[in-house]
Amino acid sequence: MDLQIGIRLHDTKELSLEKRLEEVARQGFCCGHLAISKVLEPHYAKNAALTPGFAQHLKAVFEKSSISIAVLGCYLNVATPDYEAYKKIQKTYEAHIRFASQLGCGVVGTETGAPNLAYKFEEASHSEEALSLFIERFRPIVEYAEKMGVLIAIEPVYKHIVYSAKQARKVLDQIQSPNLRIILDPVNLLDISNYEKQDEIISEAIELLHEEIDVVHIKDFIVENNQLKAVAAGEGLMDYKRLLGYLKQHKPYIQATLENTNPQNAETAREYIETLWQQV
């Protein structure tokens, strides 16, 4: 099998990092999505704590468990209207990028935020003004990633500024950096208004973002109270055959990390994706 299935580490059993990774390996996963503040004490995620020594320590811990780091998460609101807050956010991205250069992870992963202090969806989130602001704010972060030899990947999300494959394509074309990549989470492109067109939406993402898709996030969804609710893969309405067939043909050994699992259903979700993989 040439799909590397991993898991979001903060969805796993709450143990020490070493024991957590042992459990992840025992459950049959080979890589993980690491959000430092969600699996270690908060002070470990402070900018000043992200030293080369800490990176090399973490790298050794992961290598001992044969778990690679697919994504180092840094999910902050670059488009905040508070410019001083943005400058602090920029420094945090730079700290994570430096850390990633020592850690040896696949990509630094991020989403694209909202043009408000609350980081919540509003109509203006989908405006061209918000997109222009995001690109302006994100460009120097990408340039820093270039200097450090690190890949940084944005994840399109329907309720964020980059809400579609078309918007993501605009960001890629305007920033024009080989270090700017894509994390494709097909469920995050869906909303109550469009989920019945999931095949069309996934096909568009594949067509427009093919070259830049470096990591995949895998979860499922159900409809509850006229909203989409994320659940573990295999528990909802998501049809993964189109995407898995594409990955099998075009993205050998791509890392795909499960989301919205818990310690009780994670293995079942992995087995579900592995079964589909054999069928496509």
Whole-number mean pLDDT of the chain?
97
Section 142-156 average pLDDT: 98
DSSP code of residue 203: H
The arithmetic mean of pLDDT across residues 135-158, rounded, is 98
**Residue whose entry in the numeric block shows the structure tokens 């470990």:** 44
Closest alpha carbon to 34 in 48, 54, 253: 54
Confidence at residue 200, expressed as pLDDT on a 0 to 100 scale = 97
Mean pLDDT of 140-153: 98
CA angle 52/58/64 to nearest 5° reads 135
The pTM score is 0.96
Residue % of the chain over a pLDDT of 90: 99
pLDDT at 1 over 80: no
pLDDT at 230: 97
Residue 118 CA from chain centroid, whole number: 21
CB 199 within 8 Å of CB 158: no
CB 153 within 8 A of CB 214: yes
**Predicted confidence band of residue 174 (pLDDT cuts 50, 70, 90):** very high
For the cut 80, the answer to whether the pLDDT of residue 136 exceeds it is yes
DSSP state string for 239-275:
--HHHHHHHHHH-TT-EEEE-S--TTTHHHHHHHHHH
For the chain, what are the domain ranges? 4-279
- Mean pLDDT for 231-254 is 96
Segment 98-135, tens digit of pLDDT: 999 999 999 999 999 999 999 999 999 999 999 999 99
Residues 235 and 218: their CA atoms lie apart, in Å, by 12
Write the pLDDT tens digit of every residue in 29-43.
999 999 999 999 999
Structure tokens of 221?
A: 């969804």
Q: For the domain covering 4-279, report its CATH number.
A: 3.20.20.150
pLDDT at 93 over 80: yes
